């Protein structure tokens, strides 16, 4: 497992040919640690990522978010529709802040669209296509997992329902 992480770091470092050499500490850091990927995402995506299944790793991370929102909200839907219902600023099932000011409402509405858009634009294509049709790169996968981490941390810091 460690040799795979070293290999991935070397591959990423080749993008910086001519740059100063990486230290041993930099080479041994797993990309999930570099990006501060949420631990719950690591549980469902790390092995897939380490085995080169980048699309599937992304899909599993967003499936985790979908299931977490479904459980917290009590809404029996999935994907885009689930997010639009769960984060509706007028009748939120998941309330991210106090919803007392225009800024609070804007934040709730914005994250409503970020969650819904991530389901449509990131999760769904990977759920409908296979990895051969959608060969994600390491960097794209890490970008997606970073977005998923932001969404999970946003859920964890919600106002209601209480954690």
| pLDDT tens per residue, range 23-57 | 565 568 999 999 999 999 999 999 999 999 999 99
Whether 39 and 20 map to the same domain: the answer is no
102 within some domain: yes
Whether 14 and 39 map to the same domain: the answer is no
C-alpha distance from residue 6 to each of 27, 39, 112 (Å): 6, 21, 38
161 within some domain: no
150 within some domain: yes
Determine the pLDDT at residue 19: 45
151 within some domain: yes
Whether 59 and 4 map to the same domain: the answer is no
Give the torsion through C-alpha atoms of 89, 85, 134, 142, to 10 deg.
40
Measured CA to CA, the distance from residue 74 to residue 63 in angstroms comes to 16
Between residues 159 and 21, which one has the greater pLDDT? 159
Whether 52 and 3 map to the same domain: the answer is no
Q: Which residues pair with 160 in a beta bridge?
A: 95
Whether 10 and 65 map to the same domain: the answer is no
| pLDDT tens per residue, range 92-145 | 999 999 999 999 999 999 999 999 999 999 999 999 887 777 789 999 999 999
Whether 6 and 71 map to the same domain: the answer is no
3-state SS record for the chain: CHHHHHHHHHHHHHHHCCCCCCCHHHHHCCHHHHCCCCHHHHHHHHHHHHCCCHHHHHHHHHHHHHHHHHHHHCCCCCHHHHHHHHCCCCCCCCECCCCCCHHHHHHHHHHHHHHHHHHHHHHHHHHHCCCCCCCCCHHHHHHHHHHHHHHHHHHHCCCECCC
Whether 19 and 29 map to the same domain: the answer is yes
Q: Assign residue 36 a region (left: φ > 0; alpha: ψ between -120 and 50; beta: otherwise).
A: left
Whether 29 and 94 map to the same domain: the answer is no
Whether 131 and 95 map to the same domain: the answer is yes
Structural domain including 9 reads: 1-34
Q: Assign residue 52 a region (left: φ > 0; alpha: ψ between -120 and 50; beta: otherwise).
A: left
What pTM was computed for the model? 0.83
Backbone torsions φ then ψ of 95, nearest 5 degrees: -105, 120
Measured CA to CA, the distance from residue 84 to residue 112 in angstroms comes to 6
Whether 94 and 138 map to the same domain: the answer is yes
Count of domains for the chain: 2
163 within some domain: no
Whether 55 and 98 map to the same domain: the answer is yes
């Amino acid at each position: 497992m460690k040799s795979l992480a070293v290999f991935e770091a070397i591959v990423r470092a080749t993008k910086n040919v001519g740059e100063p050499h990486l230290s041993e500490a930099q080479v041994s850091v797993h990309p999930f640690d570099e990006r501060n990927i949420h631990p719950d995402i690591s549980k469902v995506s790390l092995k897939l990522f380490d085995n080169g299944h980048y699309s599937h790793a992304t899909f599993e991370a967003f499936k985790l978010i979908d299931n977490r929102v479904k459980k917290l909200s009590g809404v029996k839907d999935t994907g885009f529709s689930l997010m639009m219902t769960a984060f509706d600023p007028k009748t939120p099932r998941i309330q991210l802040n106090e919803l007392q000011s225009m800024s609070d409402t804007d934040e709730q509405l914005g994250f409503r669209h970020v969650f819904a858009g991530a389901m449509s634009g990131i999760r769904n294509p990977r759920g409908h296509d296979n990895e051969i049709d959608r060969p994600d790169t390491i960097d794209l996968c890490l970008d997606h997992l970073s977005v998923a981490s932001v969404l999970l941390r946003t859920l964890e810091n919600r106002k209601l329902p209480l954690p």
